[in-house]
Structure 1
C-alpha cells in the first residue's frame, strides 16, 4: 500500500498478535510430545470459552494501555514500548486470575493455570515487541514513499506550518522543479509529490506536471496538497482550502434518503436511551457530590450553536464554581481555577456530558458530530477562521473526530486545528468512521483522559 495510515498499522499489529497467540498456544499444546515437558494439557476439550476470553482479552487491554497507539508516534522509544507491553501482559494475567477465582472452573481447565498464563504472556510479549519493531521499520510493509512538496515559494511556509501542527512520522520536504526532475530521473524510493494549486495553474510548469503524470504510479504519484492532508493526517486545514469547491451537496448524507443518515439517527435514539438507563446511578451519585461540595446548583445550562447555527440549550453536570450571570465567555485553560475538585474528576471521565443525552433524544444533538460551541465565542471564530460555519451543516455531537484527534481547544489556533478535523468528518462521514470515533471515545473515558 502507498499510504500506511495508522489504522492499517494497528490492524496488521492486531492480526499478527492474534497469529502469535495461536502459535504460542500451539507450542504449549505440542510441547509434551516435542520436549516431554508438560505445561498445561494436550487438548482444549471443555475450555473453548476460556480460550476465546483469553484471545480477546489481550488485544482489548493492549488497545486500552496503548501498545497499539505507539505505532502512530513519530518516534518509538523502546523503554515506553516495553513498559506498555509488560503492563498489558501483567494485567491480562491478573484479569484471568480474578475470572478464575470468581468462576472457579474445573481442574481440567488448564488454560487458566498460572504457569500456562505466565508462559503464554511472556512469549507473547516478546512476539508483540518484534511485531511492532518490524512494522515501524517497514519490514512487514511496502516501502514508504518519500513526501515532496512542489509549490510556489509564498505557499511553502503556509503548507509546512500546517503540516507541522500535527506530529507525523514522515517529513514533508519542499523541492523546486530542478531538484524534482533529478529525483524523477533517479528515484531512490517511491515518491509522493504534493503539488499546490497555484503551481498547477502556472503554464511554465506544464511540462514538469505532464512528466509527473506519465511516471509509473507504483513509483511516483502526484496529489494535491489538500489530498495529502486528507490521506496522511485525516484532516482538512481551512487555510489550505481556499476556493476549493465544498458545498452541502458534496457531503455524504446530503441525499434526501441517505441510508447512513437514517442509521445514524436510529443509533442516536437507541444508544442514548440505553446509556441514560445504564448511567443514571452514576449521574445521581455525581449530582449528590456536586451538591455536597458547595451546596450550589447541580446542573448547568448553556446556550450553544447547533444545526445551521441555531441556538439551543445544553444541560451539563456543573463542574465549575458558580459564576455571575453576566460573566463573559472564556476559554477553559489547563489548570483553570474555576473547575471544582469534583468537577475535575467528572471532566476527566466525561461524566459531566451525560445529561446531553437528552439533547440527543430531542434531536438537537447527535452522539457523534462537531462539538457545539458558545455563540459568543463563535462570532470571533467565524471572523478569524475561514470555512468555520460549514461545521454547522451537521448536528453537533457529544463526541467527534476533532475531540478524539486534537487537544482541548483553548484558543483560536486550537479551534482552527479542531475545525480541520471537523471538515474532514463532514466530507468523509460514514458509519465506520462513527464507530472508530465511538471506540476512541470509550478509550478516553476508560483512561480518564478527558479535560
Structure 2
C-alpha cells in the first residue's frame, strides 16, 4: 500500500526515541542508587509514554524536517519532556508511589533523565534532517501531454513537501532511446499519463526499462504514492467501476469486521456520551433558546438520502432551507457551537446513524443533496465518493480541509476521498482513527 511508506520513518524515529530512553537511563544508572531498571515493565511503559507524547505534540513530523525550524523542533521536544514528567509525577501521587519505591520519581533523577533524553532526541532529528537534505534520491519522470502537465504542476504544488516528477512530453520522449533518457535523469521510475499513444516500440521500450530495474507505472499510481490522494482532474473519464473497489465484496471478511467494529464501538460510546450530550444540549438551549439537535438530509451510500443528527452549532434557519458552505469565522456559528466544532462533540449524535447502518465511524463525510448536485456538475468523479458508507471521520478530514469553503477546496477534499475508497483496508481505517484521536486532543476539529 502506498500510504505505508512515509509511516516507516515515523516508526523508525519512535524506535530511536525508545532506544534513547533506555540509553539515557543506562547512563544515569551508573551513578544513581537504587537501580533505575526496577521494575522493568514500568521503565518500558515510561518509554512508550514518551513516544506517545512525542507523537501527540508533532515531534515526528519527519517529512517536513528540512523545512521545520530548529526552534519548533526544540519546542515540541520540550513539551514532550514536560508532559512526560507531569504524567509520571501525577501518576505517582494518585497511586501512592514515592521515590523510594520507584527511583524514576526522584525529581533530580527525573530532570537529569529528561534533559539527556531531550538532547539525544534532538540529535537524532538533526541527523535525519542532515540525511534528508544531503540525500540525492532519483527523480520520478512523467510522460504527459501539455494539458496534463499543467494539472500535475498544480496538484504537486498543493503538496509542497513532495518532490515533483520531471515532466516529459511524448514528442520529446523517444521510445528507442528510453533507457538512455531515463538513466540520464537518474529516475527511480517512469510514470505514464492517460491517453499516451501505445505502439510496439513503446511496449519494447517499457520492457527494457523494467529489465533495468526502473519501475514503470501510471500517473494514478504515482499520485497515490507521492500525494496520498487522487486528484480528479488527473484521472481518465472512465476511471474506476464499483466492482474494482475493496468495499464492493459484500461477503468479504474486512467489510464484516468494519461493520462489527462500528456497532461494538458506537453502542458503548453512545451510552457514555448521553450525560455529556445532556449538558451540552442545556448549554446550546441557554445561549439562544433554540432547538438542541440539528437534523438535516444528507446523501448516503449509493446516493440514498438519510437524516443526519448533530448538536446544533449555528443559529436557527427555516426548516428545509439548504445550509451554504461554512467559511472560517462564520458569523452564523454560536459561541457554544464554535467550541463544539473545535472539539467535534457536535458529531456525537451521529453515533445513532452509525448504529442504524446509515454511516460508519470511518468514511467520506456526507454532504447535502443540493450541494452534491452543484459539485457533481463541476467536479469529475464526485459522486463516486458515495460508493462507500459515509463516516464520522475520514481520510479527507484528517489530511485535507475539514470545512471546504470553495470549489477548489471541495475538489481537494474529494481527492482524499477517492484515494480512500480506492485503497480502503482495515489498516487504513486504524491509521485514520489514530490521526483523528490526535487531532481531537489538539482541539483542531476533524
Tell me the TM-score normalised to structure 1 length: 0.90
Gaps of 5+ in 2: none
Deviates more, 1:367-376 or 1:250-259: 250-259
Equivalent residue in structure 1 for 2:252, among 258, 262, 265: 258
Distance apart, 1:360 and its partner CA = 0.4
Deviates more, 1:372-381 or 1:278-287: 278-287
Give me the whole-angstrom Cα distance separating, in 1, the residues matched to 2:118 and 2:238.
48
SS of 2:284's equivalent in the other structure is helix
Q: Verify the 8 A CA contact 2:267 2:355 in the aligned structure 1.
A: yes
- Change in Cα spacing, 1:355 to 1:439, as seen in structure 2 (3 Å) is same
More deviation, 194-203/75-84: 194-203
What per-residue deviation string (whole Å, max 9, x for no partner) do you get for residues 91-145 of structure 1?
2112211112222214131012112221221122122222223334437998633
Map 1:9-20 → 2, pairs under 5 A: 9-20=9-20
Aligned partner (choices 396, 399, 403) of residue 405 of structure 1: 399
2:348 aligned counterpart, secondary structure: helix
Which has the larger displacement, 47-56 or 255-264? Answer: 47-56
Residues 369 and 396, structure 1, Cα contact 8 Å, conserved in 2: yes
C-alpha deviation, 1:85, in angstroms: 0.8
For structure 1, the 5+ residue unaligned runs are 33-37
Q: What aligned pairs does 1:195-214 form with structure 2 within 5 A after superposition?
A: 195-199=192-196, 201=198, 208-214=205-211
Contact 1:5 1:232 in 2 (8 A): no
Judge conservation of contact 2:365–2:393 (CA < 8 Å) in 1.
yes
Which stretch shifts more, 441-450 or 5-14? 5-14
RMSD between aligned residues: 2.6
Alpha-carbon separation, structure 1, partners of 2:132 and 2:161: 19
| Superposed displacement of residue 205, structure 1 | 5.3
- Counting only pairs closer than 5 Å after superposition, residues 72-221 of structure 1 correspond to structure 2 as 72=64, 75-106=67-98, 107-138=100-131, 144-175=137-168, 176-177=172-173, 184-186=182-184, 189=186, 191-199=188-196, 201=198, 208-215=205-212, 217=213, 220-221=214-215
- Check conservation: 1:75, 1:169, Cα contact below 8 A: no
Identify the residue that residue 35 of structure 1 maps to in structure 2: none
Q: Distance in 2 between matches of 1:79 and 1:166?
A: 23
Alignment size in residue pairs = 439
Question: Does the aligned pair in 2 maintain the 1:226–1:236 contact within 8 Å?
Answer: yes
Cα distance in 2 for residues equivalent to 1:227 and 1:61: 34
1:264-279 to 2 correspondences below 5 Å? 264-279=258-273
Q: Does 1:423 align with 2:415?
A: no
Cα distance in 2 between the residues matched to 1:42 and 1:158? 61
Which of 343, 347, 350 does residue 353 from structure 1 map onto?
A: 347
In 1, the alpha carbon distance for the partners of 2:417 and 2:65 equals 22
Between the aligned partners of 1:10 and 1:250, the Cα distance in structure 2 is 31
Other-structure match for 2:427: 432
Q: Tell me if structure 2 keeps the 8 A contact 1:365–1:397.
A: yes
Distance 1:211 1:152, change over 3 A: farther
Offset, 1:288:
1.1
TM-score by length of 2: 0.91
Please, which of 37, 40, 56 is the counterpart of residue 44 of structure 1? 37
Q: What displacement does 1:82 show?
A: 1.1
SS, match of residue 138 in structure 1: helix
Deviations along 1:255-279, one digit per CA (max 9) or x if unpaired, are 2420000000000001001211222
Describe the superposition over 1:194-245 as per-residue Cα deviations: whole angstroms up to 9, x where unpaired. Answer: 2223335367756654543332x2xx33321111111121111111111454
Q: Distance in 2 between matches of 1:196 and 1:306?
A: 32
The DSSP-based 3-state class of the residue aligned with 1:285 is: helix
Q: CA deviation at 1:321?
A: 0.9
Do the aligned partners of 1:306 and 1:312 also contact (CA within 8 Å) in 2? yes
Q: What do residues 355-391 of structure 1 show as CA deviations (whole Å, max 9, x unaligned)?
A: 0000000111100011000001000111111111111
Deviation at 1:181, TM superposition (A): 6.2
